[in-house]
């Protein structure tokens, strides 16, 4: 595996321009997410720099722009709130330890080559989870948009205190938040090709606040310390180890999903193919370094990635250019951000929350699949009002149960048991019909096709009840590709019931895998070798006439 990401000088102009464009988008987003998380604007900038730098160097998607994202910020905000509530002194330090552990978990997934499995989640669950995160981000920005601090208690706290928040509204700050949203929603698309709407809103509304309002009229970011961030040793509390460990896994998995889904988007735009495992290692290193230096966790950012590619980015050089520009801002231009109103950042974050909600699927979910829509809306409610982990866990459980039920129905249709030669369930040749006619309901033909896994085990067990009163059982495996363990055990019961009753069992067309599975179960000890036939016609003739009649079966 190549150590570094794809960095080359074949497209310098496009990569530089793409990196500059991505940096212009990343700056207001990093400030907004830093303030929204409660860790401070500088934490957002450090996260954008550190995650972006190491993901660009060691990742597996050349054009991916990595930085704090809406979903990661929402989860990290909840982590900070929980840990500070349990330990006011060390809570913030432990929150950054969670970021470090999340990064280590991502590296582990990449080293174990599990990248291709990370995104194997039902879309109904992913859509509900992401939409729930968008709603949380919107609710958390209501208080800053009204000029009020965010109440304790997260989403529930905001909703419970909403009447007080509305009563204490600060018109100047609400006006600034509204102006920010107006620019973000109404800025013409032809202008966004030259200046991103987020930066335009940040600059225009900030300048307007300086001209029209006194500095003391609105809350602003304030001074951000210039220079490089300080190294922070991980802080771990034995009392809080369970919260720290579980939250790290949630944050790490969410970052993996966020990054890999964005990598797929980048692939579709550049006609390249990313390396999922390498990308997880790069994302993990970035988050470890971000946690060590007090930065927000990050992942692949769809907006920054798409804009950078559209501006000409084709290699990881664009990501390095973007990081260099952000470093310049932190080292020498941080003072310019001191006058940015918090309401402007709240408006930007609120718009991100609106964009995260999967409107396209939610509008059609009930038409596409009523059951799927129930899962999606259930996951949304659990995400917003209960817990992110509970939401994903219950959503996956219900979705998988429904999938198993559907698979069972489909596989049951591939298990047929007939004695009537005119049965429409199985297409028989004239000779095979003659054999069943001759048997006179004394031979049961059990036909299975396709991949017979656990979903078909109940169907096989039900068919087993039909062996009573039969003289012989013919198991047709001619079209069977795979025999699963559960179905093999159900088939074993049917065969042993016949053997114990002194009846004959014949097997037709058993391939290598089904025969090996039967051998491992010990069934070959109960079925004579001559009872295994290459085709169904031979097996039926042997069941009806015995060994003397098999010579004519191939006619």
Read off the CATH number of the domain in which 447 is found. Answer: 3.30.750.24
Q: Identify whether residues 297 and 428 lie together within a single domain.
A: no
- Per-residue model confidence (pLDDT) at position 547: 63
205 with 137, same domain: the answer is: yes
Contacts (Cβ under 8 Å, ≥6 apart) of 60: 5, 263, 274, 275, 276, 277, 278, 279, 280, 281, 282
Are 426 and 337 found together in one domain? Answer: no
pLDDT digits (tens, 9 = 90+) for 71-85: 899 899 989 988 998
Do 204 and 316 belong together in one domain? Answer: yes
Radius of gyration for the alpha carbons in the chain, expressed in angstroms and rounded:
31
Distance of CA 125 to the CA centre of its chain: 8
Position 163 in a domain: no
Please check whether residues 441 and 508 belong to one and the same domain: yes
- Tell me: do 199 and 333 sit in the same domain: yes
The highest-confidence range among 152-156, 293-297, 334-338, 388-392, by mean pLDDT, is: 293-297
| Residue 375 in domain | no
Q: Is 493 domain-assigned?
A: yes
Q: Are residues 278 and 175 in the same domain?
A: yes
Q: Both ends of the chain: CA-CA distance in Å? A: 58
Which of 285, 320, 355 is where one domain is finished?
A: 355
Q: Categorize the per-residue pLDDT at 217 as very low, low, confident or very high, splitting at 50, 70 and 90.
A: confident
Among 355, 373, 389, identify where a domain stops.
355
Q: Is residue 479 part of a domain?
A: yes
Question: Do 131 and 253 fall into the same domain?
Answer: yes
pLDDT > 50? residue 511: yes
Which residues are 472's β-sheet partners?
A: 443, 504
For 361, the enclosing helix (H) or strand (E) is: helix 359-362
Long-range contacts formed by 514-523: CB under 8 A, 24+ apart: 514/477, 514/480, 514/482, 514/483, 517/483, 517/485, 517/488, 518/483, 518/488, 518/491, 518/492, 521/488, 521/489, 521/492, 523/492, 523/495
- Note the pLDDT tens digit of each residue in 14-60: 889 889 888 888 888 899 999 988 898 899 999 999 999 999 999 98
Is the domain of 91 the same as that of 223?
yes
pLDDT at 96: 95
Please report, rounded to a whole number, the percentage of residues in the chain having pLDDT higher than 90: 30
Residue 152 lies in a domain: no
> Number of folded domains in the chain?
2
Residues 350 and 423 in one domain: no
455 pLDDT band, cuts 50/70/90, is: low
Residue 245, pLDDT score: 92
Over 80: is that where the pLDDT of 224 sits? Answer: no
Does 257 map to a domain? yes
Helices first, then strands: H and E counts in the chain:
26, 7
Average pLDDT, the chain: 86
Q: Is the same domain home to 482 and 343?
A: no
Q: Please calculate the CA angle 511-514-520 and round it to the nearest 5 degrees.
A: 130
Q: Is residue 93 part of a domain?
A: yes
Domain presence at residue 374 = no
pLDDT of residue 435: 85
Domain span at residue 501 reads 413-552
pTM of this structure: 0.78
pLDDT digits 0-9 by tens, 306-323:
888 988 888 889 999 999
- The answer on 200 and 278 residing in a single domain is yes
| % of the chain beyond a pLDDT of 70 | 97
Q: Which of 317, 340, 355 is the last residue of a domain?
A: 355
Confidence of residue 258 (pLDDT cuts 50, 70, 90): confident
């Amino acid at each position: 595996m190549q150590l570094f990401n794809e960095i080359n000088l074949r497209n310098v102009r496009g990569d530089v321009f793409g990196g500059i464009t991505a940096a212009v988008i990343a700056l207001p987003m990093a400030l907004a997410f830093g303030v929204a998380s409660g860790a401070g604007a500088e934490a957002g900038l450090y996260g954008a720099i550190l995650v972006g730098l190491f993901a660009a160097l060691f990742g597996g998607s050349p054009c991916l722009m990595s930085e704090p994202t809406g979903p990661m910020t929402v989860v990290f905000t909840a982590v900070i709130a929980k840990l500070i509530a349990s330990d006011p002194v060390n809570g913030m330090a432990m929150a950054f330890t969670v970021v470090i552990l999340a990064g280590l978990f991502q590296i582990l997934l990449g080293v174990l080559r599990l990248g291709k499995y990370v995104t194997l989640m039902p879309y109904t669950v992913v859509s509900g989870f992401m939409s729930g995160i968008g709603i949380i981000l919107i609710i958390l920005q209501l208080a800053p948009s009204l000029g009020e601090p965010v109440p304790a208690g997260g989403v529930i706290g905001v909703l419970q205190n909403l009447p007080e928040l509305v009563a204490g509204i600060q018109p100047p700050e609400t006006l600034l938040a509204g102006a920010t949203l107006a620019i973000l929603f109404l800025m013409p698309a032809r202008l966004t090709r030259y200046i991103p709407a987020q930066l335009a809103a940040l600059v225009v509304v900030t300048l307007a606040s300086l001209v029209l309002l006194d500095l003391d009229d609105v809350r602003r970011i304030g001074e951000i310390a210039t220079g490089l961030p300080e190294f922070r040793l991980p802080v771990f509390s034995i009392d809080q180890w369970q919260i720290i460990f579980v939250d790290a896994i949630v944050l790490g998995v969410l970052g993996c999903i966020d990054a890999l889904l964005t990598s797929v988007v980048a692939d579709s735009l550049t006609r390249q193919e990313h390396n999922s495992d390498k990308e997880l290692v790069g994302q993990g290193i970035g988050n470890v370094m971000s946690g060590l230096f007090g930065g927000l966790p990050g992942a692949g950012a769809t907006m920054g990635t798409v804009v950078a590619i559209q501006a000409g980015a084709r290699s990881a050089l664009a990501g390095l250019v973007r990081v260099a520009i952000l470093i310049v801002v932190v080292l020498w231009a941080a003072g310019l951000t001191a006058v940015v109103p918090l309401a402007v950042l709240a408006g930007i974050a609120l718009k991100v929350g609106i964009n995260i909600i999967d409107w396209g699927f939610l509008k059609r979910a009930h038409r596409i699949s009523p059951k799927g829509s129930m899962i999606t809306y259930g996951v949304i409610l659990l995400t917003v009002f209960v817990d992110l982990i509970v939401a994903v866990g219950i959503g996956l459980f219900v979705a998988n149960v429904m999938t198993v039920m559907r698979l069972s129905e489909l596989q049951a249709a591939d298990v047929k048991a007939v004695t009537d030669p005119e049965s429409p369930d199985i297409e028989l040749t004239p000779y095979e019909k003659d054999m069943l006619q001759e048997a006179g309901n004394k031979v049961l033909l059990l036909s299975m096709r396709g991949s017979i896994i656990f979903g078909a085990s109940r169907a096989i067990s039900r068919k087993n009840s039909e062996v009573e009163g039969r003289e012989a059982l013919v198991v047709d495996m001619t079209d069977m590709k795979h025999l699963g363990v559960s179905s093999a055990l159900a088939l074993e019961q049917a065969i042993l019931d016949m053997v114990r009753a002194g009846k004959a069992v014949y097997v037709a067309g058993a391939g290598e895998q089904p025969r090996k599975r039967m051998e491992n179960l010990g069934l070959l000890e109960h079925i004579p070798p001559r009872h295994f036939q290459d085709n169904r016609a031979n097996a039926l003739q042997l069941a009806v006439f015995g060994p003397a009649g098999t010579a004519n079966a191939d006619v």
